Amino acid sequence: MADDDPNLSFPTPDGALGSPSHFYPFATSPDIIRSHEKDTFVTAGLTQQAQTIVRSLKGARFAHTYSDAIKHLTELLYLSLTTAIGNRTLGEEYCDLVQLEDDSLRLPAITRRVGYILSSILVPWWLQRLLPALRSRVRNKLERNIARQQIRAAQQQIPGLGKANTNTNTSNNNNKQPQSKPFFTKLRIQQYLLDHLDSITSLSPIYALSIATFYFTGSYYHLSKRIWRLRYVFTKKIDENEQRIGYEVLGVLMVLQIAVQGFLHVRKIGESMNNAEAESASTEAGGAGVSSEGGAVIGSIQNPASVPLLPAAAPRYDLEEDPGAVSWIPEGQQRKCTLCLEMFKDPSVTTCGHVFCWVCVRDWVREKPECPLCRQDVPLSKVLPLRG
C-alpha cells in the first residue's frame, strides 16, 4: 500500500517538501467520485452476502426487518478493517488516493479516522431512527396549536362568544378604523412549519450545498470528511503538461437547481398566502349571515375540520383473520407474502404484477425502488392496494 511506503513524502504545513520528485497534488473530484463508487460497489456486494447469511440463519422476515441494521453494520465493518486501522479502502487503492489531514498534511490520526467512520455511518443511522418520532411529536403539537387558534378566531367572529365581544369592546371597536393584519402571523408561521415539516427537518439541503461546494473545490465529498477535514492526494505520477480537470460545471448546475427550487418555493408560498387572504376576506364578508344561524357555526367550532383523523393501527384487510376479505386470491401459498412469509395484510400489487403486504413492499421500495422478486423498477407511487 502506498501509505505504508517509507519513501512516501507529502508537503509539510510550511510548504517544504521531502523531495521535489515526490510531490503529490490534491486529488480532483473525478478521482474521488470514482473511488467512492468503487467502495459503494464493494459494500453493496458485502451487504448482499450478509443478508443472505442472516436470511439462512434467522429467516426472511428477520432479514427484511433488520435490513438497515445489516447494511450499516456491514459498512461499519468494512471501514473498520480499512480506514480505522490505517489502511486504504479498495476504492482508494483503485484510484491511487491517500487520505490526509487538511490542516497538517499528515496521515490522519486515529481520532479523526474513528470520528469520520462514526459520523458517516452511525450518526445518519441514528438520525434516520430519531427523526420520524421527532417529526410526529412536532406535527401533533403544531396541529393542536393551529386548531386551537382557529377555534379562537372563529369564536371572536360570533357575537356572544368569547370575552372580547363584550358591549364595551364592541362600542370601542365601532369607533376604530379596521386595521390591516400583519403578513407574518403566528398562525401562518405554524401552518408553514406544519406543511413543510419534512423538508425543514431533512438534511438533504445541507448535503446538496456540500456536494455543490465539492464540485467547485474538489475536496470533502462526504459531509463527515468536511467536518473532520480529511482530504485526498493523488499518488500517481503526473506529467508537467498534464492537466487535472474537475466537475465545476456540475457545481454550476447544482447551484442553478437550488436557486430555481428556492424561487419556485417562495412563489408557491406567496400564492398560497394570497389565496388564504382572499378566503379570509370572503369569510369575514359573509360572517354576519352565517352568525345569525349560530348553531351550525358553533357545531363546527366544537368539532374543527382541521384536526386530522389518526390512521388505523391495524391493517384494513387481514387475510389471516378474514379469509374472505380478498376472495379472488387463491387459497394456499398464494395468499402468503414472499417477504414476511405470512398471510397478506393489506395486499398490494407492483407494476410487474407481484403481490406483497403493503408494509413489507413499502419498506422494501423505500430502500430499493425495485420489485423484490423480478428486480423491475417500481417507484412507491406505483404500488397499488388490492380490494375485494
- Output the pLDDT for position 256: 93
- Output the pLDDT for position 182: 65
Residues 225 and 105 in one domain: yes
* % of residues, the chain, pLDDT over 70: 76
- Output the pLDDT for position 388: 60
Q: What is the CATH number of the domain that holds 359?
A: 3.30.40.10
Residues 225 and 359 in one domain: no
Quick: pLDDT tens for 293-322: 444 333 443 344 443 433 444 667 777 777
- Output the pLDDT for position 286: 54
Taking alpha carbons only, the member of 345, 348, 338 closest to residue 372 is 338
Residues 6 and 94 in one domain: yes
Q: How many domains does the structure of the chain reveal?
A: 2
Residues 328 and 226 in one domain: no
Residues 117 and 23 in one domain: yes
- Output the pLDDT for position 111: 95
* In the predicted structure, residue 114 carries a pLDDT above the cut 90: yes
110 falls within a domain: yes
Task: Compute the average pLDDT of residues 93-111.
Answer: 92
Residues 112 and 230 in one domain: yes
201 falls within a domain: no
- Output the pLDDT for position 379: 84
Task: Compute the average pLDDT of residues 64-76.
Answer: 91
Residues 99 and 227 in one domain: yes
Task: Compute the average pLDDT of residues 98-120.
Answer: 93
- Output the pLDDT for position 148: 87
Give the residue from 174, 209, 234 where a domain finishes. Answer: 234
- Provide CB contacts within 8 A for 158, sequence distance 6+: 165, 291, 294, 297, 298, 301
Residues 104 and 226 in one domain: yes
Task: Compute the average pLDDT of residues 189-211.
Answer: 87
Per the document, the length of the chain is: 388
Residue corresponding to grid cell 465545476: 248
156 falls within a domain: no
Residue 12: which pLDDT band, with cuts at 50, 70 and 90?
very low
* In the predicted structure, residue 211 carries a pLDDT above the cut 60: yes
Q: Which structural domain, as residue segments, surrounds residue 387?
A: 311-388
Residues 8 and 115 in one domain: yes
Quick: pLDDT tens for 263-302: 998 888 888 777 777 776 666 555 544 444 444 333 443 3
* % of residues, the chain, pLDDT over 90: 29
344 falls within a domain: yes
* In the predicted structure, residue 13 carries a pLDDT above the cut 60: no
325 falls within a domain: yes
Strands 97-101 and 347-349: unpaired
285 falls within a domain: no
Pair 86, 106: CB distance under 8 Å: no
302 falls within a domain: no
Q: Round the average pLDDT of the chain to a whole number and report it.
A: 78
Give the residue from 234, 269, 286 where a domain finishes. Answer: 234
Residues 228 and 368 in one domain: no
Residue 87: which pLDDT band, with cuts at 50, 70 and 90?
very high
How far is it, in rounded angstroms, from Cα 306 to Cα 277? 18
Poorest-confidence range of 34-43, 175-184, 230-239, 353-362? 175-184
How far is it, in rounded angstroms, from Cα 125 to Cα 118? 10
170 falls within a domain: no
For 231, list phi and psi in degrees, rounded to 5: -120, 170
Residue 18: which pLDDT band, with cuts at 50, 70 and 90?
very low
- Output the pLDDT for position 332: 72
Of the segments 88-102, 162-176, 359-373, which one has the largest average pLDDT value? 88-102
Quick: pLDDT tens for 26-45: 899 999 999 999 999 999 99
Cell of 1: 500500500
Give the residue from 234, 257, 272 where a domain finishes. Answer: 234
